[in-house]
Structure 1
Amino acid sequence: MDFENLIVGLLENNLAFLLLAVLIVIVIFRAVKIVPQSEQHVVERFGRLRKVLGPGINMIVPFIDRIAHRVSILERQLPTASQDAITRDNVLTQVDTSVFYRITEPEKTVYRIRDVDSAISTTVAGIVRAEIGKMDLDEVQANRSALITTIKANVEDAVDNWGIEVTRAEILDVNLDAATRAAMMQQLNAERARRAQVTEAEGKKRAVELAADAELYASEQTAKARRVLAEAEAYATQVVAQAINENGLEAAQYQIALKQVEALGGMAAGDGNQTVIVPAEALAAFGDAFRLLRGRG
């Protein structure tokens, strides 16, 4: 009996020890929480927010605290959304947008908004309509980068109380209805035709200007040649006058006689058989010229 009682006592002590060990393991397991790098965990105590656990090993009070929400802090992309918007010049457009965001304060996100994606999409749609309504269609197409910046800033202000950071906003496309596209195409074709006509007119104008410049240049060159010829003749006259002044009338008669002989030689050197009829008075003059030439020789 004593031996059996000893065995029973040992078993009871070991069982109590085992139960205590199991309880300790359970407490440690419930108290130690390992949070992944891409998550944050929201802890509640009796239904109220207790704290937010960051990545790594964390401790909570077992059986009192519990992890109520596991929130991913990775960047998220909303599905591409399309919304109708009317520009300031009354053109109906369909704008495709996409927004990237991440949760920075999970305690705000889980307790202030139920459906984050839907709330952000609705906010973006309203802001896009409001901003495009302030601009003409041409401004929307030309200033898309500035429009994206404005939309992103406005969305950030709107979702700030939700513990969300908007990392990027994009306008993927701005679509127009068929009638507007047809009207814009007609306008584009008309503008191309106008530019072609302007280019052709400018080409013709340039051709006329070049022709006028060529004529002016030719006139200038002709005038320059005439001026040179006149200067040469003036110089020759000056030389003859100087010779007459220095040598008297004899020099002038010599020059005249020389010209007469050159003219007669030119007439005789023509093609074919020429008959040159010279008046008697001219013969007398030629005789004088020959005498002067012989005298010079």
Structure 2
Amino acid sequence: MPIENLLSEFLGQNVLWLLLAVFIIVCIMAGVRIVPQSEKFVVERLGRLRSVLGPGINFIVPFLDRVRHKVSILERQLPSMNQDAITSDNVLVQVETSVFYRIIEPEKTVYRIRDVDGAISTTVAGIVRSEIGRMELDQVQANRSSLIEAVRTQVAQQVDDWGIEVTRAEILDVNLDQATREAMLQQLNAERARRAQVTEAEGKKRAVELQSDAELYAAEQDAKARRILADAEAYATQVVAVAIAENGLEAAQYQVALKQVEALQKLGDGTGSQTVILPANALDAFANAFQMLKGRG
């Protein structure tokens, strides 16, 4: 056999083995897929969903299976959205919202919805308008936490068919138009003025009540003193009556003489020049009184 034929046969066999080796390498490379931790791969076979590859090393059928979509499973934040809403008391408010979500079932997301962010934004806007339309303005301001929870719950229910999990929904701000702000400011100032007037009136009322209580207390104390004095005089009269009953006329004359002396002493205690006019028989009465007092002493 000529050398040329042997060489040609050897090269032909080597090329065949070489091509076979290259084919095997290509098949291995086409059949192995390494998926990052933050992603999932959607695999199609002949244009139809075959499987979803999770993080790590995965194997597919070369030339039949194809990775059609690479979907990130990291949490995403939609850009802040502003939408107008009208409360139940007909106040126009502008609500700023933000939503956080992540894709948990990529096969639903890629085959059921085209624009995920746009769909969620539209859904959130509709839910916010609906919820605020059931509330008055004061309730919107005071119950923001319950409003946020209602929005998050309803959004989660709406997007469940899209393979999406809503992790958080936030209402960043509730703004009012200028006319409504001015009206609310006027109302606030009027309320403050009313409270000040009420406080002042209550203070005056309390002062009058305290003054009345003080006057009533003084009257009660005066009446009590008069009652005590009357009781004392009654007791003294009773003592005199007992003395008269026991000692007869002499005790009565003694009491009269004592009163006459006390009256004369009060006349003498007056200040300045005084002229006292007495009846003629008053001197005899005073003389008898002094005599009786001396006798008593």
- Give yes or no for TM over 0.5: yes
Decide whether aligned partners of structure 1 residues 293 and 31 sit closer, same or farther in structure 2, where only a CA change above 3 A counts: same
Which whole-Å deviations, capped at 9, do the CAs of 1:159-213 have from their partners, x for residues lacking one?
Answer: 1110111122222222222222223323333333333333333333232222222
SS in 1 for 2:40: strand
Aligned to 1:227: 227
> How much has 1:11 moved relative to structure 2?
8.6
Decide whether aligned partners of structure 1 residues 269 and 175 sit closer, same or farther in structure 2, where only a CA change above 3 A counts: closer
RMSD: 3.3
TM-score, length-scaled by structure 1: 0.83
SS in 1 for 2:159: helix
- Higher mean Cα deviation, 173-182 or 16-25? 16-25
Decide whether aligned partners of structure 1 residues 274 and 19 sit closer, same or farther in structure 2, where only a CA change above 3 A counts: same
Aligned to 1:66: 66
SS in 2 for 1:66: strand
- 2:223 maps to amino acid: A
Decide whether aligned partners of structure 1 residues 89 and 268 sit closer, same or farther in structure 2, where only a CA change above 3 A counts: closer
Q: How does 1:115-130 map to 2 (within 5 A)?
A: 115-130=115-130
Distance in 2 (CA, whole Å) between partners of 1:273 and 1:190 is 71
Q: How does 1:265-280 map to 2 (within 5 A)?
A: 265-268=265-268, 279-280=279-280
TM-score, length-scaled by structure 2: 0.83
SS in 1 for 2:174: strand
Aligned to 1:202: 202
Distance in 2 (CA, whole Å) between partners of 1:102 and 1:5 is 66
How many residue pairs were aligned? Answer: 297
SS in 1 for 2:37: coil
Aligned to 1:264: 264
Whether 1:218 aligns to 2:218 is yes
Distance in 1 (CA, whole Å) between partners of 2:17 and 2:236 is 145
Whether 1:238 aligns to 2:230 is no
Which whole-Å deviations, capped at 9, do the CAs of 1:83-103 have from their partners, x for residues lacking one?
Answer: 122233333222211111111
Distance in 2 (CA, whole Å) between partners of 1:291 and 1:277 is 22
**Which segments of 5 or more consecutive residues in structure 2 lack a partner in the other structure?**
none
Q: How does 1:1-297 map to 2 (within 5 A)?
A: 26-268=26-268, 279-297=279-297
> How much has 1:143 moved relative to structure 2?
2.8
- 2:202 maps to amino acid: E
> How much has 1:279 moved relative to structure 2?
4.7
SS in 2 for 1:97: strand
